[in-house]
Amino acid sequence: MKKLVSVLLSVAMVAVLLTGCGGGSASGAKKVGVSMPTKDLQRWNQDGANMEKELKAAGYEVDLQFAANDVQQQLSQVENMISNGCDVLVIAAIEGSSLGEALDMAKKANIPVIAYDRLIMNSDAVSYYATFDNYKVGTVQGQYVVDTLDLDNAAGPFNIEFTAGDPGDNNAGFFFNGAMDAVKKYIDEGKLNVVSGQKTFEEVATPTWGTDVAQSRAENILSSFYADGTELDVWLCSNDSTALGVENALAANYKGKYPIITGQDCDIENTKNMIAGKQSMSVFKDTRTLASQVVKMVGQILSNQTVDVNDTTTYDNGVKVVPSFLCEPVFADANNYKQILIESGYYTEDQLK
C-alpha cells in the first residue's frame, strides 16, 4: 500500500511539473484552489460561494471543490488542485490532520496554503490561517448565558447542559473552552448545575457536527435526567447544527420551561427559530468578511507583499505556530437580527419567513 501511494504521489508530482504548477492557468490568470468540507451545512455553501465570487472578481481563476465530509475525497481533490496548476490553496479541512500527503505535495511544489477557518494540524506546509476568533466565539456564548441569567446577582441554581462540536475540528475545542471558561466560575459556585454530569469536551462532543447526532444525545439526556419534571434552564450549544438537534429533541421530549439555547453561524432554520423563540442567540461570523480577508491575503501572497496577520502566538498546529488573521464575531438574537442579518444584506426578509 505504501509503495502504491508513493507511486501515485510521484505521478502526481510529474503532472505538477508538466502543468507548470505555480505558473497559473492556461489563460494566464493566477489559479486558486478552494477546498470546502461539505455542502451539507449551509455555512460551507456560503463560504464557498463568497470565496469564489470574490476571487473571480479579483481576476483569479478558481477551482472550488466540496468534499462531502469524506476525508479521502478531500485529499484527492486537493492533490488534483495541485496537479492542475493552482498557485495558492485555501483549505477548510474536514479533519485537521488528514491532509499530510497533499500538503507534502504542495510544499514540494512551493504552493502556499491558507488554512480556512479550521487550523490544519501537524504540517509545516501551512503558510497562514484565516478564521474568526474562535475562543471568543465560545466566550460570547458563555457570557450571553451569564448576562441573561444575571448570574452575578441571581441566587440560582440553574440547570445547564452542553453540546460541543466535532472532535476532528480543531476549532471545536476553542469554542467549548471559551464558553466553559465564561461559565465555570458559576458551576464551581453551584449557581449552574450540570444535571447529567457531562461537562468535559470528550463527553459533550458531536462527531461531524451532525444534527441527528446531537439530537440523539439530547434525547438520551432528557429521558435520563429530565423526565421527572426537572427543569432545564440552559443548553449551551457550540453551533447551529447541534442546536437544531437539541431543539428537535426538546420539541419531542420536554414539557418544562423552555431553556436558553446558544448557537453559531445564524443558519436560516436557526434564525427562524430565534424569531419564534426556540433559540436564544447565534454567534454571527460573517463569511463575507472572512472571504474578503482571504482574497486580500491571496493577493498579497501572489504579489510578494507582506501578508496581513494579527496573531502570531495562539495557533500552534503541533509543528509550527501558524501566522493568523482573526476576524471578530458578534451575536444575533430576536432583538437585533434585522440589523445584523437583513440590513447588512446577508439575508432577505423572505428567506426568514
Q: pLDDT by residue (tens digit) across 205-214?
A: 999 999 999 9
Is the bond preceding residue 167 a cis peptide, omega within 30 degrees? no
AA identity, residue 301: I
Same domain assignment for residues 150 and 47: no
* Last-in-domain residue among 284, 316, 344: 284
Amino acid at 54: E
349 belongs to a structural domain = no
One pLDDT digit (tens) per residue for the chain, 353 residues:
444 444 444 444 433 333 333 445 545 789 999 999 999 888 899 899 999 999 999 999 999 999 999 999 999 999 999 999 999 999 999 988 889 889 999 999 999 999 999 999 999 999 999 999 999 999 999 999 999 999 999 999 999 999 999 998 889 999 999 999 999 999 999 999 999 999 999 999 999 999 999 999 999 999 999 999 999 999 999 999 999 999 999 999 999 999 999 999 999 999 999 999 999 999 998 988 998 999 999 999 999 999 999 999 999 999 999 999 999 999 999 999 999 999 999 999 999 99
Is 353 a member of any domain?
no
Q: Is the C-alpha dihedral spanning 43, 115, 103, 165 positive or negative? A: negative
**Residue 70's domain is classified under what CATH number?**
3.40.50.2300
Are residues 178 and 275 located together in one domain of the fold? yes
Give the whole-angstrom CA distance, residue 80 versus residue 100.
14
Minimal CA–CA distance to 114: which of 273, 293, 314, 250?
Answer: 293
Predicted pLDDT of residue 40: 87
Q: Quick one: pLDDT at residue 24?
A: 52
Number of structural domains found in the chain:
2
Res 170: pLDDT: 87
Q: Is residue 162 part of a domain?
A: yes
Nearest-angstrom CA–CA distance, 49 and 347: 14
By residue range, what is the domain housing residue 216?
A: 134-284
Task: Please check whether residues 66 and 205 belong to one and the same domain.
Answer: no
Query: Residue 351: inside a domain, yes or no?
Result: no
- pTM comes to 0.79
Residue pair 22/54 in contact by the 8 Å Cβ criterion: no
142 and 277 in a common domain: yes
65-97 burial, b at 16+ Cβ within 10 Å, e below that, comes to: bbbebebebbbbbbbbbbbebbbbbbbbbbbbe
**Residue 340 lies inside a defined structural domain of this protein:** no
Is 336 domain-assigned?
no
Dihedral angle sign, alpha carbons of residues 208, 210, 214, 219: negative
pLDDT the model gives residue 98: 86
Task: Show the cell assigned to 105.
Answer: 505535495
Provide the grid cell at 126: 501551512
**DSSP class per residue in 59-80:** T-EEEEEE-TT-HHHHHHHHHH
- Please tell me whether residues 139 and 206 are part of one structural domain: yes
Task: Put residue 111 in one of left, alpha, beta given phi > 0 → left and psi -120 to 50 → alpha.
Answer: beta
Residues 148 and 270 in one domain: yes
CB burial of residue 49 (10 Å; 0-12, 13-18, 19+): middle
Mark whether 157 and 19 lie in a shared domain. Answer: no
